Structures are given as structure tokens and as C-alpha cells.
């Protein structure tokens, strides 16, 4: 299973898949560094605790999606590729 933000589509070449993965990761790092799109602190703590005990955690890097756990777990629109935690949906107000 790959990162939920860059799942390959049928017919995507390996180069296209790699480009999607790199682009998604770059956007995630920018959001993390600029502190935009963050999940609530309690959610971040719970996600990191789930990752802390995961056998796919390789010194802070997820072996499944290859994401940096500190960044990925902080972003509300990210989810765990093996289902240990979900993205935080943002409620928007209906202008009508």
C-alpha cells in the first residue's frame, strides 16, 4: 500500500508514480514547516503514539509510505497507509 495522497492509477508508469509521490511529499513538508493544515495537538499526539509502537516505523520514517512520521502525523489531511489513524475532515460552512 502506498501513501493515500499519491495512490497510483492504472496505467501510470513508474516515473509518473515516483513524481506523484515526490510532489505529495514536498507539499506535505512545506505544510509542516509553514504550520498550515495542522491537526489539533491531541490528534497529533495520538497519531504519533500509534506510530511509536508500529513495526513499520523505522527511526521516524514509515516503511510503507516512506513519509517522515513527524510531518505526516501533524497534517490533518493525511492518514495512515495501514489504517492506524485517519485524516481529520474539515467542516465547511454552507453559504446558503
Tens digit of each residue's pLDDT (9 = 90 or more) over 38-61: 999 999 999 999 999 999 999 999
Q: What is the pLDDT of residue 52?
A: 95
Cα–Cα distance between 20 and 45 in angstroms, integer?
28
Please check whether residue 33 lies inside any domain of the structure. Answer: yes
Residue 30, domain member (yes or no):
yes
Does any domain span residue 41?
yes
- Count: domains in the chain: 1
E strand or H helix that includes residue 58: strand 57-58
Q: Is residue 37, in this structure, part of any structural domain at all?
A: yes
55 or 25, greater pLDDT = 55
Return the pLDDT at 89: 73
Q: Quick check: is 20 in a domain?
A: yes
Q: Is 87 among the domain residues?
A: no
Which residue range is the domain that position 41 belongs to? 14-72
- Residue 83 within a domain: no
- Whether 77 is in a domain gets the answer no
Amino acid at each position: 500500500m502506498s501513501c493515500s495522497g499519491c495512490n497510483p492509477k492504472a496505467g501510470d508508469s513508474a516515473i509518473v508514480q515516483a513524481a506523484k509521490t515526490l510532489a505529495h511529499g514536498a507539499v506535505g513538508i512545506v505544510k509542516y514547516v509553514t504550520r498550515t493544515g495542522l491537526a489539533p495537538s491531541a490528534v497529533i499526539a495520538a497519531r504519533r503514539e500509534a506510530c511509536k509502537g508500529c513495526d513499520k516505523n523505522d527511526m521516524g520514517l514509515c516503511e510503507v509510505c516512506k513519509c517522515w512520521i513527524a510531518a505526516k502525523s501533524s497534517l490533518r489531511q493525511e492518514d495512515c497507509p495501514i489504517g492506524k489513524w485517519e485524516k481529520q475532515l474539515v467542516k465547511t460552512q454552507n453559504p446558503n
